[in-house]
């Protein structure tokens, strides 16, 4: 099995990894509310929690009563 002759320094290791960069998250627009949100994530809009165009939790009903 091959083994390195010398320890790779942290600087050299990090230089090799620089091509892996963080990209901006891909956003989707909700069909009902029109709000941009992350894919496969629920999001809040005007006191309601939406997921796939459906309301999961409605906080506006709890605030009134």
User: What is the per-residue pLDDT for 11?
Assistant: 94
Indicate whether 18 belongs to any domain: no
**1-50 pLDDT tens trace:** 889 999 999 999 988 888 777 778 889 898 888 889 998 999 999 999 99
Indicate whether 40 belongs to any domain: yes
**What is the distance between the alpha carbons of residues 52 and 42, in angstroms, rounded to a whole number?**
8
Indicate whether 48 belongs to any domain: yes
User: What is the per-residue pLDDT for 62?
Assistant: 67
Which residues form the domain of 39? 26-65
Indicate whether 41 belongs to any domain: yes
Indicate whether 15 belongs to any domain: no
Indicate whether 50 belongs to any domain: yes
In terms of Cβ atoms closer than 10 Å to its own Cβ (0-12, 13-18, 19+), residue 50 is buried
User: What is the per-residue pLDDT for 64?
Assistant: 61
* Closest CA relative to residue 27, chosen from 35, 15, 19: 35
Token pair for 43: 């999001």
């Amino acid at each position: 099995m091959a083994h390195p002759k010398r320890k790779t320094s942290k600087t050299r290791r990090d230089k090799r990894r620089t091509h892996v960069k963080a990209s901006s998250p891909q956003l989707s627009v909700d069909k009902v509310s029109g709000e941009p949100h992350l894919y496969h994530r629920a999001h809040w809009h005007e006191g309601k929690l939406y997921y796939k165009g459906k309301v999961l939790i409605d906080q506006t009903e709890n605030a009134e009563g």
